[in-house]
Structure formats: structure tokens, C-alpha cells
Amino acid sequence: MISSGCSGSTFRKCVQRVAIVSALIFIVCSPAILANTPISEKVILQLPWHHQFQFAGYYAAQQQGFYQEAGLEVEIRSGFFKNNQLANSAEEVVFQRAHFGVARSELLIHHARGLPVVVLANIVQRSPTVFITLEEYGFERLEEIGDRPISLTLPDSTYGNLLSAETLGALKAAGLNINTLNNHSPSWKLQDLIDGKTQLMPGWATDEPFMLERMGHHPVTISPLDYGIDLYGDLLFTHQQLLLENPSMVDAFRTASLRGWRYALDNPDTVIEYIVENLQTPGPLYDADFFRYEAQQLRLFMQPELIEVGYINPDRWQAIANLMEELEMIQPVSLEGFLYQPISPDSAWQKFWHWLAITLLMLLITFALIGWLHRSNRKLVLEIRKKELTEKELIQLATLDPLTGLMNRLSFHKILQKSVKEARQHQLPLCVMMLDADYFKQINDTYGHLAGDIVLKNISTLVSNLIRTEDIACRYGGEEFAFILPNTRLHEALLIAQRIVNEVADSSNIVNDIEISCTVSIGLAELNESDKDGINLLNRADTYLYKAKALGRNQIATQGED
């Protein structure tokens, strides 16, 4: 019996015997397996844009040999063809001119229309998509577009197959009809914005604002997140047929790519050097300083400290599908077949490991059972803890602002409507307060955006300590904050607002040994019979906020001063 061989020996000797047997098995079997090893497969990855740090993980996988180790020879194609025409990565993959592609959440629209696309990995957890204008054009909201010349990615004869879910969703949420806009197909050239050919263009928060500032201009960004459009950024996808016919190759490419992303996040300077020296970038502004800034900003949107790179959350995808249905961007659709699930291929390697596992099980069965049970129990406990932590983090991502930790705008609107309904039902007072950091753009221009972020976080911490437990605080967008003060009369809210104005003015922000002062302006409004809903109440508070700023800032304006 096998067990008798171990009864008079130590556990270490048993393990040594198993190792020797395993090595002999591998030596005997490896020639046959290696003989069946396929030649490197040639695959194409289609990018949706120019070469830059936005796609660093794929460059790292190629540079570090991760694709080669996976038996793949990968061609990474720029998002622009030789005639400078922008590539549609979904179209390239669907028509099998590329094996893999990079896209954003609009891929769900393609799926809803019946195209055979499969999400393999979510790389960027929050979309950096923004709308960009210049300070000189004098508007900060989509509702103020009017008949201004703009160039957004909307369905038309030129780019009819290109979609931007964030653009369509934000415009619809803002109450705008895309058919009445003075829109022209985007050239994605910053010079068109500078020359006034367009006053609004699409871009990424990680790219164009930095470029415009380097060129001596003052960009203004409008985020789809301010309109409740919270979607994924870049994701990796493929064709359903490729996944069915060659699942092992798809899995190998996905694994190597995610390995590349982890390397790129840990070693950004190495990848930046590779991009600068080996890839064709759009121009001289795309230098190492820009890529370092892009890498820093992209990390904020990927959030690798909270979520594993590539993690696919079916619940969040369902929430995105529900939002697109609500905005009439898609019809009700099933996510079945759209989100990748690993498939075990019947390969020679897996057959070998399966046979080897059975052999080892027979050798180890007399002493491995107890150890297996112990490890399984410990692993189960760790997995449960990890799942509980992950679920908590995902809930926070969906409801909280990532910079300040306060509630985000979408969640705030839901609670505001509920608060108004309860106040009317129980005949209780209710106030809303809008707060804006004064001259905040000067802080960003003088000390940099990272310093500005520190000031915003300090304001949010200070305000959170000054309001009451039952009050609701929200980062409404940019340097603007909103508050719900339940069961509160206007004169009571005024006392709270005055404390905030005084405390912020008296506080200081130390950034790199430099003291940065900041003040705030506040608008206050109390619920009355003329308010049709919470939005109307919020808009009145916003009107008083602008009045406070017009009166000189660092003060409060209320409806009692009309």
C-alpha cells in the first residue's frame, strides 16, 4: 500500500518522493506535449485613438514579452488609418479585420443592435470622457449651448457608425434635441476649438485640458457625470465567433493584456520611454511630461487600489443597461453572451495537467485530505471577507464622489426628491444650500490641479464637521457642493451657512509648504408652494449662489434678500 511507505518516514520524505515521480512523469510526457505546441498565432488589436499612455497595458505586454510567452504575435494598430480617418474598433472586430478591440460602454449599444461583440475586461472603471470649451466662450453647462457651433460625436452621414454613449446620454439628460444642435462632425483638433470653428468638442479629462493649458488657453470641462451618466471607460472586447472557435487564444490574450496593465501601472516611466522612442504619436506636445500627467490621471479613473484591473461587474453593467433604456438609447436587452466567462478548452496541455492531477491525487490521497480541508476552509473564509469588502467598495463607487468621499450628484438627486416628498407629506420645512469655492480656477492655474484637489478635499472635510448628522452633503460637480437640510427653516439654515463661510475663510490649506487661502459663496432656498419638485428648489438655491458671487463672493444670498 502507498500509505505504508509514509508510515515510517517523515512528511518531507513523502513530498520528495511525490516530486520525483512528478518530475519523471513530466520528463516522459513533455516531448509529446511540446511536439503539439502551436506556432505563435498572429492577432491584431485595434485601438480607437492615437498611441498614448491610454493603452499602456498593451504596449507593456508586448514590450515585456507577455504576449510572446502566451504564444501570440500581436500587432497593435493605431486608431487612425493612413488617410487620417478615425477607426471604428467595433466595426473592425465585427467584420473580422481585427481580432480584438478597445471601446467604451457604447459597446452595449452595438450588442443591443445584435452585433456579436463580447466584453473581455473592464480596464477603466470610470469614463474620463468630457466636453471641452474655453473660458472665453462664456458657458459652463450643456443647457447653454444654444446655436453655438459645436462638434460632438453624434450619428450623421460622416461618422454614422461611431457612437458615444456618454454624449447621447448627457445631451438627453440635459433636455437637448440633437437634431436641432448646430453640430458638425468632430475633427478632434484642438486648433479648431482655439480658432472658434467649434465652441465645444469631445475629449478626455486625462488629455486635452492639459494640452490646452500648455498652449496658453483656459479650458472648461463639462462632465457627463454631472448629468448622471456614469459609465465605464476603455474596455477590451472581441468577436463572439472567435471566442467560440478559439477560446484558449482569447483567454491567453486577455491574461497577457491584464498582466501588461498591472506592469504599466507599477512601472509607468518604463512604458512612457517605450512609447516616446518606439511609437508614432500625434505631435510634439505628446512628450514624456504629457504621458506622465496622463498616467497619473488615468490611474484615478482605473482605481486599481479598489478594483482588480479587468474586473467585470455584471450588476453595474445591468445598471448601465437600465440607464440606457431609461434614456431610450437601447431597447430592453439581455446581457447573456455579452460579458466574458472563461471557457476551459480541451487542449493538450490541459489534458496533461488533468492526467497529472489524477496521478498525484492517487499518490497523496492518504495524507493530503486533511491539509486540503484546512486550506479550503481558510480560503473560503478569505473569499467571503474579500467578497464582502468588494461589494462594499462597489456600493461606494456607485454612490460616492471618488475625490471627496461625499455623495455624488446622481445619488443626491434621488435623496432630494425623496426629501421633498416627505417634507410635503408631513408638512415639515426643508432647505437646500449650494456652495461654490471662490476663484477656484485661479488656484488650479497657480498651484496646479493636484493642489486644487487637496483644497476641495479640505473643504469637504471641514463642511462635513460643521453640518448636522441628519444633513446630506454632496459634491455636485467641479468645485460646487450641494446640501439638503431637512426639518430646517431658512433662518436656521442661514446660521449653518454662516458658520461654514467663516470657518472656510479662517482655515488654511498647506500644499508643499505653501499656504493656499480659499473662500466660499453660498446660495440658500427654502421649500415653498411654488416649487414643483426638488430640481426647482435646487435651481433656486443655485440662482442665489450666483447672486452671492455677483455681490463679491465670500458671502451668502437667500430668498429673503430678493
Q: How far is the CA of 460 from the CAs of 12, 454, 492, 548, in angstroms?
A: 58, 10, 21, 20
Average pLDDT, the chain: 86
pTM of the model: 0.58
- Cα separation, 285 vs 298, in Å, equals 18
162 pLDDT exceeds 80? no
The band of 16, judged by pLDDT with boundaries at 50, 70 and 90, is: low
CATH 3.40.190.10 fits 41-125+233-326, yes or no: yes
pLDDT for the residue numbered 560: 67
Top-confidence residue, 292 or 562: 292
- The CATH number of domain 129-227, selected from 3.40.50.300, 3.40.190.10, 3.30.470.20, 3.30.565.10: 3.40.190.10
- Residue 524: count other Cβ atoms within 10 Å of its Cβ: 27
* CATH dotted code for 409-561: 3.30.70.270
Tens of pLDDT, residue by residue over 341-364, are 865 445 445 555 656 677 777 767
Residue among 401, 502, 518 nearest 451 (CA)? 518
121 pLDDT exceeds 60? yes
- Cα separation, 361 vs 368, in Å, equals 8
Q: Let me know if the fold of 41-125+233-326 is the same as that of 409-561.
A: no
Sheet strand arrangement including 472-477: 472-477, 480-486, 430-437, 520-526, 556-558
User: 239 and 94 in contact (C-beta within 8 Å)?
Assistant: yes
Which phi and psi angles does 501 have, rounded to 5°? -60, -45
Sheet strand arrangement including 129-134: 201-204, 129-134, 219-222
Domains of the chain, residue spans? 1-37+347-387, 41-125+233-326, 129-227, 409-561
pLDDT for the residue numbered 275: 95
Tens of pLDDT, residue by residue over 306-337, are 999 999 999 999 999 998 898 888 899 999 99
- Cα separation, 34 vs 188, in Å, equals 49
The one-letter code for the residue type at 416 is: L
